[in-house]
Amino acid sequence: MNEEPTGGSALPQQGLPAERVLDEIHLLRAQDRPTHGGQLFAYVYDPAVPGLDELAATAYAASAHVNGLDPTAFPSLLAMENALVGAAAGLLGGGPGSTAPEVVGSVTSGGTESLILAVKAARDAHPEISTPRLVVPASGHAAFAKAAHYLRVGLDVVPVDPGTLRPDPAATAAAIGPETVLVACSAPSYAHGVIDPVGEIAAAAASAGVRCHVDACFGGWTLPYLRRLGVPVPPFDFTVPGVTSISVDLHKYAYAPKGVSVLLHRDPALRAPQYFAYADWPGYTMINPTIASTRSGGPIAAAYATLRHLGDDGYLRLAAATRDAVAGLAEAVRGVPGLRLMAEPESTVVCFTATDPELDLFVLVDELTARGWHTQPQLSYAGLPASVHLTVTAAVATRVGEFGPALAEAAKAARAAGPVVLPEELRTLAGTLTPDALTPELVGGLAAGLGLGGAAAGSPDRMAVVNSLLDAAPPALRERLLVEFVGLLQRPHW
């Protein structure tokens, strides 16, 4: 190959043979973290089912050019969407014979879009409220803040108890005011994997006449199966009175390829304000249930194929493997002195923190990465310590025995290396700099000093110093620094 795959433009003077192009993509992909194999504990969901990827890819290709813009032109997509919504509703306490027989829904591109649309539906159901507000626990996914920001909805954040990592239902009820259009909670929260007190929160919302959204993007496809396996899962779905909408991501624990989530509403009237319709222009009358107008059928067909192939029995088996993997990982954490589980696992997250200042979590994360285990560091926040998040999927089950020794070794190496000591001027900067005072020169200098950006775009192998700097900064500065750092990475190849 003459050109580096990262060096060339996407538009060569003359088109290249298909094989060459695929080689380039494979070369690029080799730089990525491993999406399969049970050693990446965030971003990816791997059931380790032979043949599933191929099936999903074939189904994706069959519908990639189908456009969800008009369901009457492409009834195949409508049929598959309705089947996915029906399956999700059935798992989550809705459908024929249930207490929520009128459940309807939409297929969206992901959890964030589902949450934005839940907020939009709640906001637009109340055009008389000029400054609508959303009540959300501090542990709610950042996508709620994004929804509030995009939709100009005010955000009332309810703190979580540092012990239980859950919002207090009474504090949630107290946060509901005359302008509140939606109350949100999680089943479970992404960061710590704990299930919020949905029953009490939904009751408080209902008694105030306000909608209640359960964000089950992460857990909606596993909790029902874990319950069937005997895990004590509290009620969190449409069986709970007052729950008006639920989101569940199929590209998470339904193991579908990326780009597919379901947003359910208890009845069609609740869903109606989610739609956007527009007839006041000379082109086609637009009617969109989701944010995107043109939508590829690829993710929907791939999800449909995945669900049909794995089936209910398949998901039950995968949930059992995941439950065992969670237990094994939690045991591994308990076995390392100086580490503590943030919460006893009740879903498919293992989250731990350090109790010994000599054991720096960010250094530990780097040491795990060096050993092939990719975990997700979480910064300290509002009295909660920094932590390490593990999203556990079925593929981890066969690797779990290797994790304990790797964690112990990594902890030993992290202790030997000692905690990150930020240079005094950086620590002062993090503590005193206001986001507005960040100049391009300052950001460039910081990024270079931290080994970010530059010719070999991507992140450095060792992130402990970067994470320590971010950890020392307040959230507003963290946000601004990340925008600037990522902006440095996103530069065109000419």
Contacts with ligand PLP, residue ranges (CB under 6 A): 110-112, 115, 141, 143, 186, 190, 215, 217-218, 249, 261
Minimum distance from residue 302 beta carbon to ligand PLP (Å) = 15
Minimum distance from residue 478 beta carbon to ligand PLP (Å) = 18
Secondary structure of the chain as H, E, C letters: CCCCCCCCCCCCCCCCCHHHHHHHHHHHHCCCCCCCCCCECCCCCCCCCCCHHHHHHHHHHHHCCCECCCCCCCHHHHHHHHHHHHHHHHHCCCCCCCCCCCCEEEEECCHHHHHHHHHHHHHHCCCCCCCCEEEEECCCCHHHHHHHHHHCCEEEEECECCCCCCECHHHHHHHCCCCEEEEEEECCCCCCCCCCCHHHHHHHHHHCCCEEEEECCCCCCCHHHHHHCCCCCCCCCCCCCCCCEEEEECCCCCCCCCCCEEEEECCHHHHHHHCEEECCCCCCCEEECCCCCCCECHHHHHHHHHHHHHHHHHHHHHHHHHHHHHHHHHHHHHCCCCEEECCCCCCCEEEEEECCCCCCHHHHHHHHHHCCCECEEECCECCECCEEEEECCHHHHHCHHHHHHHHHHHHHHHHHHCCCCCCHHHHHHHHHCCHHHCCHHHHHHHHHHHCCCCCCCCCCCCCHHHHHHHHHCCHHHHHHHHHHHHHHHCCCCC
End-to-end C-alpha distance for the chain, whole angstroms: 18
Minimum distance from residue 112 beta carbon to ligand PLP (Å) = 3
- Is the Cβ of residue 44 or residue 143 nearer to ligand PLP in the bound state? 143
- Is the Cβ of residue 111 or residue 453 nearer to ligand PLP in the bound state? 111
- Is the Cβ of residue 250 or residue 368 nearer to ligand PLP in the bound state? 250
- Is the Cβ of residue 6 or residue 376 nearer to ligand PLP in the bound state? 376
- Is the Cβ of residue 95 or residue 140 nearer to ligand PLP in the bound state? 140
Compute the distance between CA of residue 296 and CA of residue 63 in angstroms, rounded to an integer: 7
Minimum distance from residue 144 beta carbon to ligand PLP (Å) = 8
Minimum distance from residue 119 beta carbon to ligand PLP (Å) = 12
- Is the Cβ of residue 185 or residue 397 nearer to ligand PLP in the bound state? 185
Minimum distance from residue 486 beta carbon to ligand PLP (Å) = 16
- Is the Cβ of residue 245 or residue 261 nearer to ligand PLP in the bound state? 261
Minimum distance from residue 295 beta carbon to ligand PLP (Å) = 15
Minimum distance from residue 186 beta carbon to ligand PLP (Å) = 5
- Residue sitting closest to ligand PLP (CB): 111
> Is the peptide bond preceding residue 17 cis, with omega within 30 degrees of 0?
no
Minimum distance from residue 249 beta carbon to ligand PLP (Å) = 5
Minimum distance from residue 291 beta carbon to ligand PLP (Å) = 12
- Is the Cβ of residue 115 or residue 394 nearer to ligand PLP in the bound state? 115
Dihedral sign computed on CA atoms, order 304, 305, 307, 312? positive
Minimum distance from residue 187 beta carbon to ligand PLP (Å) = 8
- Is the Cβ of residue 41 or residue 218 nearer to ligand PLP in the bound state? 218
- Is the Cβ of residue 388 or residue 414 nearer to ligand PLP in the bound state? 388
- Is the Cβ of residue 261 or residue 467 nearer to ligand PLP in the bound state? 261
Greatest distance between any 2 Cα atoms in the chain: 70
